[in-house]
Amino acid sequence: ASQQPHHHTAKLRLGSAPLEEALQGFSFIEFYGEWFTVLDYLHYTLSANTNTRLIYVQLFGGINPYTLTHTDTNLIVRCFDHNTLLEAFNRVNQDSQTEYTLLVANPYLHAETPRQQTEITAHLRSLAQKRRVVTFNQETKTHTPRGGHFHASSVHILIHLETQRLRGGGSRLGVG
């Protein structure tokens, strides 16, 4: 599989012009960190962009539909286990439309074995050959992205998100 970046016509809005420019043309991008920080950034990305599809792996909680502003062109598919995630990947792979950005949230939540991690990474790599894929992933206890070394070396761009604690009790999202 080629690791060359692809060119996509739709600009991905991420809240930072320098970041958006730096990521332009890459087809496999990942944001990872503490889950609640990543989830906040996923909400922003969904609200700031149109023409996206989201595969969301989660049993409870997560997406707050009241925070989404451009849901008219967003499609959300929820997966509850490893097999439904693979089914969703297969459905996307069969989709002849490739002009949208595929967002995948928490892809390794139900990956219980290294083999399952490899299956997920292989699907993500394959999908990134046809369209832009952006994953939103949890970090491990060692502050690395979930999914193992094969996954980390397959992603074109890995971005660690951090919540910066401010004096006075506030916080803001930062790229680490």
Q: Which of 68, 66, 88 has its CA nearest to residue 133?
A: 88
pLDDT tens for 119-172 read 999 999 999 999 999 999 999 999 999 999 999 999 999 999 988 766 666 555
CA angle 81-69-157, nearest 5°? 55
* Confidence band for 33, pLDDT divided at 50, 70 and 90: very high
Query: pTM for the complete prediction?
Result: 0.84
pLDDT tens for 72-81 read 455 678 888 9
